[in-house]
Amino acid sequence: MESVQAIKQRFGIIGNDPKLNRAVEKAIQVAPTDISVLVTGESGVGKESIPKIIHSLSHRKHGKYIAVNCGAIPEGTIDSELFGHEKGAFTGATQTRNGYFEVASGGTIFLDEVGELPLTTQVRLLRVLENGEFIKVGSSKVQKTDVRIVAATNVNMFEAIKKGKFREDLYYRLSTVEILLPPLRDRKDDIHLLFRKFASDFATKYKMPTIRLTDDAISLLEKYHWSGNIRQLRNIAEQISVLEQNRTISAVTLHGYLPNIGSNLPAVISSDKKESDFSNEREILYKVLFDMKSDLNDLKKLTMELMQSGNSQQVQKENEGLIRKIYREENEEEVRFNEPVTPTEVLQIAQPSTPAVSEEDKYHFAEEIEEEETLSLQDKELELIKKSLERHRGKRKAAAEELGISERTLYRKIKQYDL
């Protein structure tokens, strides 16, 4: 049996992280058997290397190895791709087609993104795992296949099972042995090694000097979150290799290539957040606004009564509860009253000037309140039309364009308002 280091060198796996070594070690151990393997890990961690190791070290190494990206095949055709179809099984099936399970008999099938399989296809796959049998689309004949299945996913399978998106019995059939590949951010000592390897490869590919990182750039590289893992690191190494003329890369230069550098920590968003939660928040906001409007109207009414009533003390006594409600103060912790507000203080706030209010002033004040209350959209429309016509010296076409309406509509408004 080959050593872990020999296998890593053979398949181009770079790094000395204990979790990575353990994953490769498990792949070596299960390779000689025919048990199903499920490779898990985030997108971009290099899950496709594990099934290749398993196939090459198994007794099936001379058979076919087929990798299938389940997430890239449309739901309507995936059964045909995996299990084949008979001529005339559906529109466009002009001839019989052998599926991957038939073609790969005696070899290995790698089902990448297996968590994306439709539920109907999951039932068919479960039958293959249990007794090696499948039926082509449009056929009634049961066929046998002898394949070894290695699957991979970046989906949280227990969450998918809980939501009814993945069959629990299929999960346990696939994951007889589960191999977890760690994310790049958990392999900090391997990050610079990988970057140097990629930089060397791209220097050879594009025939240019190899880029090198300064110490502060290496530190930044190792602290970054790497949500896209090895795939993202490789992409950034290629960008810098091609775009940067200075082959010594500082932290400042590297910073410009790292997206979302200021927010490396992932946001935690509850998956149970329902649309109704947002509706409830809107309702609460509307209620607060209506309450504020109601308080303002109450204040106007109280102020008018204080100004017009001959017995202001009686009015203040009757409305003491309302006064305390309106003139409360907001604390950081809770809404509460700081000091009891006396009716006299409220009257001073409502009447800032000490002289008595004349009848003419009372009428003028009441008129202003009435105007504010009855201000209508029609008045605003009329005012805008007048201003636009004055600005364009009565030219209806120019005024209509400015107002964003047709000339015919403007002509009708002019007649309506008798301008």
Lowest mean pLDDT among 24-28, 34-38, 117-121, 338-342: 338-342
Q: Are residues 138 and 13 in the same domain?
A: yes
Task: Give the C-alpha separation, 62 to 373, whole Å.
Answer: 87
What is residue 232's predicted lDDT score, i.e. its pLDDT?
95
* Of the candidates 51, 3, 283, the residue with the CA atom closest to the CA atom of residue 147: 51
Q: Are residues 72 and 169 in the same domain?
A: yes
What is residue 315's predicted lDDT score, i.e. its pLDDT?
55
Q: Are residues 122 and 85 in the same domain?
A: yes
Q: Are residues 135 and 148 in the same domain?
A: yes
At 286, the pLDDT band (50, 70, 90 cuts) reads low
DSSP string, 198-210: HHHHHHHHHTSPP
Helix, strand or coil for residue 66? strand
At 111, the pLDDT band (50, 70, 90 cuts) reads very high
Q: Are residues 66 and 125 in the same domain?
A: yes
Q: Are residues 91 and 233 in the same domain?
A: no
Residue 272 lies in a domain: no
Q: Are residues 34 and 164 in the same domain?
A: yes
Lowest mean pLDDT among 91-105, 196-210, 283-297: 283-297
Residue 390 lies in a domain: yes
What is residue 261's predicted lDDT score, i.e. its pLDDT?
57
The mean of the pLDDT values for the chain is 82
Q: Are residues 235 and 318 in the same domain?
A: no
Residue 229 lies in a domain: yes
CATH number at residue 191: 1.10.8.60
Q: Is the pTM of this model over 0.75?
A: no
Domain holding 78, by residue range, is 4-182
At 263, the pLDDT band (50, 70, 90 cuts) reads very low
Lowest mean pLDDT among 92-106, 296-310, 382-396: 296-310
Q: Are residues 145 and 220 in the same domain?
A: no
Task: Give the C-alpha separation, 244 to 355, whole Å.
Answer: 77
Q: Are residues 165 and 202 in the same domain?
A: no
What is residue 330's predicted lDDT score, i.e. its pLDDT?
42
What is residue 293's predicted lDDT score, i.e. its pLDDT?
72
Residue 198 lies in a domain: yes
> What's the pLDDT tens digit per position in 308-349?
665 556 655 666 665 555 555 443 444 444 444 454 544 454
Task: Give the C-alpha separation, 210 to 196, whole Å.
Answer: 9
> What's the pLDDT tens digit per position in 65-98?
999 999 999 988 999 999 999 998 888 888 999 9
Residue 363 reports pLDDT greater than 60:
no
Domain count, the chain: 4
What is residue 120's predicted lDDT score, i.e. its pLDDT?
93
Q: Are residues 217 and 102 in the same domain?
A: no
Question: What mean pLDDT do residues 118-129 have?
Answer: 94
> What's the pLDDT tens digit per position in 36-71?
999 999 999 999 999 999 999 999 999 999 999 999
Instruction: Identify whether the C-beta of residue 63 lies closer than 8 Å to the C-beta of residue 107.
Output: yes
Task: Give the C-alpha separation, 91 to 306, whole Å.
Answer: 84
Residue 266 lies in a domain: no
DSSP string, 277-312: HHHHHHHHHHHHHHHHHHHHHHHHHHHHHHHH-S-H
